[in-house]
Amino acid sequence: MAEHRRAMIFGIAVGVVAIANACIGSDAANTSPPTPDAGGVDGASGSDADLPADSGAPTDGGGDAPTARCDVTKAFAAPRALDDINVPGTTNEMGRLTQDEKTLYFSRDGSDAGPGNYDVFVATRSGAGAKFSQGLPLNGGNTAGYDRAPSITADGLFVYAHGPGPGGSDVVVASRATTSASFAAFTALNGIATAEDEGNAYVLPNQSALYFNATRGGTSTIYRASHLGGGVFGTPQVVQGLASVANPGHAAVTTDERTMYINGGNTSTEYDVYVARRPSTSSAFDAPKRVPELSTPEADYPTWVSDDDCVILLTHRRPGGTYEILIAERPK
């Protein structure tokens, strides 16, 4: 009888342990985070497979996550002029920062330092938030015509800009072999410049793609061309999802290509700033939304946005027709 009781107790204990292990296993399986963008639009999986190389997307390197420098759910603070760049007696426009935010490329008119009307200038600073130098002309590149809206690759070897070409206004490019060399003069970009107007190029830092404005058949919109290698780009494709904005242009794109700021409007004094987002690069952008804190009664153009969507540069048209560079930041 005693042996029978001991067997029953042992059997009950084994059953309890088995049930406990089953419960623990079930809870452990539920601790895995959900897959981002699972079942996304148009079959997008949300995996890193649809991100361009060196896109700046977060990697799973372990350790504590970095503290965000802003709250992206909050509106931008009021834009302020970069007075260290907006030198009196000049008009300054189309500022683009390098990814470390220490070097600013922009175009300037009204200075005798460059060979043309508008020329590409470069200004530097010690770090984010510090003052910029007033800027010097780009080392080479500039021509006797106009050279505007520069966009440079992360390696510092290619600058894409807006200048004269076969269509009157075209995407132009200047290159150099090393960062200590001078740039060759800007020339029209083969495969992009046509007999119609193109301009306002925005290259991704790793040169994997180029965004630009173009007029085709009298209609202006934004195009994207993939880099095939060796400075050659594929056939430009219309960026989908922007049709609700009149005359979209001046794309400023995060390197993961999921957030795009543009401007649009029916006249040069009505251009406002819009933002469009998408869940993955295989999806069309959602309908752009006007960004009221970045839009004024004058024309406003987004020209650069940080990858964390915390900082944006703008070109603002002053009453009278001259331009200035503005910066806006989101609060924490």
More confident: 195 or 58: 195
Exposed e or buried b per residue across 253-289, where buried means at least 16 C-beta atoms within 10 angstroms of its C-beta: bbbbbbbbbbbbbeeeebbbbbbbbbbbeebebeebe
Find the domain containing 252 and state its range: 80-329
Name which of 219, 161, 238 is nearest 193 in CA terms.
Answer: 161
Mean pLDDT of 6-28: 40
Q: Is residue 6 part of a domain?
A: no
Residue 65, domain member (yes or no): no
Domain assignment present for residue 113? The answer is: yes
Quote the pTM value: 0.79
How far apart CA 57 and CA 225 sit, in angstroms, is 21
**pLDDT band of 269, cuts 50, 70, 90:** low
Banded pLDDT at 56 (limits 50, 70, 90): very low
- 266 inside domain: yes
- Closest of 309, 305, 275 to residue 292, by C-alpha: 275
The model's confidence at residue 319, banded by pLDDT at 50, 70 and 90, is confident
| Residue of higher predicted confidence among 268 and 10 | 268
Where does the pLDDT of residue 14 fall: very low under 50, low under 70, confident under 90, or very high at 90 and above? very low
Q: What is the CATH number of the domain that holds 204?
A: 2.120.10.30
Return the pLDDT at 34.
32
Q: Is 251 within a domain? A: yes
In this structure, is residue 263 part of a structural domain? yes
Distances from the Cα of 214 to the Cαs of 170, 174, 221, 228, in angstroms? Answer: 9, 20, 6, 20
What is the pLDDT, as a whole number, of residue 52? 40
Beta-sheet strand order (sheet of 272-277):
249-253, 259-264, 272-277, 289-290
Q: How confident is the model at residue 281 (pLDDT cuts 50, 70, 90)?
A: very high
Q: Is the pLDDT of residue 82 over 50?
A: yes
Give 64's pLDDT tier (boundaries 50, 70, 90). Answer: low
Report yes or no on 3 lying in a domain. Answer: no
Over residues 179-187, mean pLDDT: 97
Rounded to a whole number of angstroms, the CA Rg of the chain reads 26
Binned at pLDDT 50, 70 and 90, residue 78 comes out as: very high
What SS3 state is found at 28?
A: helix
The distance of Cα 320 from the centroid of its chain, to the nearest Å, equals: 30
Our count of domains for the chain comes to 1
Is 37 among the domain residues? no
